Homo-oligomer: A and B are copies of this chain.
């Protein structure tokens, strides 16, 4: 079971986890025991130029591929999750979409063979800025090729191809994943029979670009980022925390926070001890505790350079690059059916973006269902307000 993932595509197991820790300059990344690895073609050419040697994609699977090999569903994640979408015998810990993926659930693993990939460029087992460049034995950092959403899509494509799958029953993604499925459909025409894009966009809005570029600024201007050459011990924690707080601001909605936090006072005052100056400005409201907790959690697991690469890729994505317009891209894609879901309180990927996307799919000749949800939970609704999403997805896939 050991050996390089190139020799045993799709079968290298968690022994590979040490690989991400070879570079003494980076913190070790924890990869779950159900993680498998697919070797990418060598070289793997990037959409904007550049190439990767010995690249790989980490993934997990649930259910079984049928004999006809036509019951596979490929799942792409948002910016930050790993491939661990749901628990399994090999890894019983709850996954990031535990309530959606499993036996008898909306994405029903009794019927479908589900593959979830860790995005290329991320840091949970797939090749990315934090993984090792075989030509140097050190992490790529900023020498990693210029990542695009199209490359993430291709990473998923090569993964399912390595599993002997020639056509997907569906490709599904939310947030960043909701963009990746579009890049997938545009690049691999006809490969996915059905496309499900949740809280995604055909091209980032200037508001979202402003938000994400400010998040990147917070990291880029942190002296501890050190031009990407930070060590495992001293990392741009301050910038990463600010970036995550900023993200957290846009993942839910003001209405939901009003209900959840109101103006309740903070209970956690640990920031008071940091310095005499900061003691003048402690957290005073419960919502600040929440932001601090979210920031702490993120910083402990995510690599800063990977974050920068993925964040920039989202800003740059524009489906119309595939053929000149969104419509021509989707005509070329030739999906049979599409399900587009959006949330009215989403300020990051607005409902108008999903509506336009659904209209373009329809105009491209794809049988399209558009589901606008009135959830208060904002952009992250697909993670927390599961029922309406599960209802729409379950019905679409049935």
- Among A208, A280, A312, find the residue whose CB has the most chain B CB atoms closer than 10 A: A280
A206: which of B245, B262, B281, B283 is its contact (CB, 8 Å)? B262
**Chain A residues bordering chain B, tally (CB within 8 A):** 59
Contacting pair A350 B285 (CB below 8 A): no
Contacting pair B312 A228 (CB below 8 A): no
Contacting pair B213 A258 (CB below 8 A): no
A249 to B245, CA, bound (A): 14
A269-303 interface mask toward B, CB cutoff 8 Å, 1 = contact, 0 = none?
A: 00000011110110111111011000000000000
In the complex where A225-B277, A242-B217, A288-B209 touch, is A254 in contact with B203 (Cβ < 8 A)?
no
A258: which of B205, B263, B291, B316 is its contact (CB, 8 Å)? B205
| Number of copies of this kind of chain in the complex | 2
Contacting pair B263 A206 (CB below 8 A): yes
What chain B residues lie within 8 Å of A284 (beta carbons)?
Answer: 315-316
Contacting pair A249 B210 (CB below 8 A): yes
Answer whether residue A211 sits at the interface, using C-beta atoms and an 8 A cutoff. yes
Contacting pair B254 A205 (CB below 8 A): yes
What chain B residues lie within 8 Å of A223 (beta carbons)?
Answer: 223
Answer whether residue A326 sits at the interface, using C-beta atoms and an 8 A cutoff. no
Known: A206-B262, A207-B249, A281-B308. 20 other contacts (CB 8 A): A203-B263, A205-B254, A205-B257, A205-B258, A207-B257, A208-B254, A209-B285, A209-B287, A210-B288, A210-B290, A213-B283, A213-B287, A213-B291, A214-B246, A217-B241, A217-B242, A218-B218, A284-B315, A284-B316, A347-B347
